[in-house]
Amino acid sequence: MVRAVRPNTTFTNAQVSGFYFRPCRNEYDEYVLRQHPDHESIMLQASAAETGSVLNFVRHSSRNLYGWMHWIIESNLPLSFCEIRTARRYSKLDPISEETLRLDMSGVTQAVERTIAEDLPSHFCVMFDGVTHASEHYVTWFACFERNGELVTVLLGMAPLLNEPNDDLSARTHLELLATMLPRDCGVQIEQCRFLVGDNCAVNRLLATLMGDTRWGSTFAMLQRYRRLLEFLDAEDDDLMEVMPTPAANKRLRVLFKELKDIESVSKALQGRDVDLLDVRQWFDELIAVNPQYERFLGPRADIVHSPDFEAGCPVETEVNEGNEDDNLSFVERLCKRRRLEHQKVTYEHIKTIPPTSNALERFFSVTRVMLGQQRHGLLPATLEMISLFWENRSYWDASTVNCLN
């Protein structure tokens, strides 16, 4: 039996296959990319073995630390959770101590602050509010700026205001704290802050008097519930008809309900995250056009307006293209549709970056209150600020951020 000798080939089988066959994208690949538009950010957080690329190589120790941080912060767990025997037993993460976790979290905090400082534009807005907890008064600062045409809010810090015996809650103390924090943590000066957004205490002056144990959340909710029940009420019941509104009164109630429906849509839209001052001013002006009595409360010269001249100059110069409007759309949806058909010319710089309300701060305080709970009142202010910074600015840190630590 003679062994056949194969001639030496110039190219390997893989090279020959790669020359004659090329990978082509079929409909299934396009479907995957279409269903996962965030594939790039997810794959960057994955390991090199999972993606087949060394672009996002992260050390095992860094991925382990990131796993503990992500687990504890997203699940609102105490920092000592990493030392619990049960957590270590049923977790694939390598055990670490609370001291190591706290020290590394401090380093990641500095990295996040540097990333935020690089992301801040040359001019931005600052939104702030205060909250008191356990005899400690905190002031929270958010930076507001525009990115790709959208309003972005970033948590800058949550620090105690009263640090010295002679400190108070005056505006000067707030200004001094802001002037100290911006250069120290973000590398920017207070002169780069174009305007401030804060809670107007004048609107809460009668809050304690007006609050009561009401049956309905609002007049609109009461009328809405009445209209739903009206079709099920027995018109032949004499006792019931004695306390029911007359047909003429029901007609007036239908007109009132339609008017309150527009107000309700504006009230709910004000709570959104993507609302700017231009939207609010346009909504208020349209409500005033429907009912001039609203001018006293919503007009640019109303008593609660801090700067009437600025408020009056906020509307944009537009060329309206009138069209058929759908009656099924809400009041705000009709205005948004009309605004998309307009050619806008903004007369004020950065006006689209002005949030109309400080609801972002109220939502943040609600999350912080849940974060503290009943068992974590002993957290130091620095630790509370660090955890809050990670929670609110989740898009500014990942496994690669932890991997960059020395």
Is residue 372 assigned to a domain? yes
Q: Are 336 and 361 in a shared domain?
A: no
Is residue 5 assigned to a domain? no
Q: What is the pLDDT of residue 319?
A: 39
Q: What is the pLDDT of residue 155?
A: 92
The yes-or-no verdict on residue 257 having pLDDT over 50 is yes
- pLDDT tier, 241 (very low <50, low <70, confident <90, very high otherwise): confident
Q: Are 235 and 320 in a shared domain?
A: yes
pLDDT in tens, 349-377: 666 677 777 778 888 888 888 887 766 77
What are φ and ψ of residue 126, in 5° steps? -120, 125
Does residue 142 contact residue 156 with C-beta atoms inside 8 Å? yes
Is residue 100 assigned to a domain? no
> What is the extent of the structural domain holding 253?
215-353
Number of domains in the chain: 2
Rounded (10°) CA dihedral 284, 286, 288, 290: -140
Q: What is the mean pLDDT of the chain?
A: 76
Is residue 400 assigned to a domain? no
Q: Are 288 and 312 in a shared domain?
A: yes
Q: Are 340 and 228 in a shared domain?
A: yes
Q: Are 333 and 366 in a shared domain?
A: no
Q: Are 148 and 278 in a shared domain?
A: no
First to last CA, the chain: 65
Please list the residues that pair with 357 across neighbouring strands. none
Q: Are 222 and 349 in a shared domain?
A: yes
pLDDT in tens, 189-223: 888 888 787 765 543 444 334 444 444 457 778 88
What is the residue whose two structure tokens read 């999972």?
Answer: 50
Does residue 320 contact residue 338 with C-beta atoms inside 8 Å? yes
Residue 39 vs residue 37, higher pLDDT: 37
Q: Are 323 and 369 in a shared domain?
A: no
- pLDDT tier, 133 (very low <50, low <70, confident <90, very high otherwise): confident
pTM of the model: 0.60
Q: Are 170 and 291 in a shared domain?
A: no
- What is the C-alpha separation between 198 and 362, in angstroms, rounded? 11
Is residue 228 assigned to a domain? yes
Q: Are 190 and 236 in a shared domain?
A: no
Does residue 336 contact residue 276 with C-beta atoms inside 8 Å? no
Is residue 127 assigned to a domain? yes
Q: Are 336 and 368 in a shared domain?
A: no
Is residue 38 assigned to a domain? no
- What is the C-alpha separation between 405 and 59, in angstroms, rounded? 11
Q: Are 321 and 349 in a shared domain?
A: yes
Is residue 276 assigned to a domain? yes
- What is the C-alpha separation between 232 and 17, in angstroms, rounded? 75
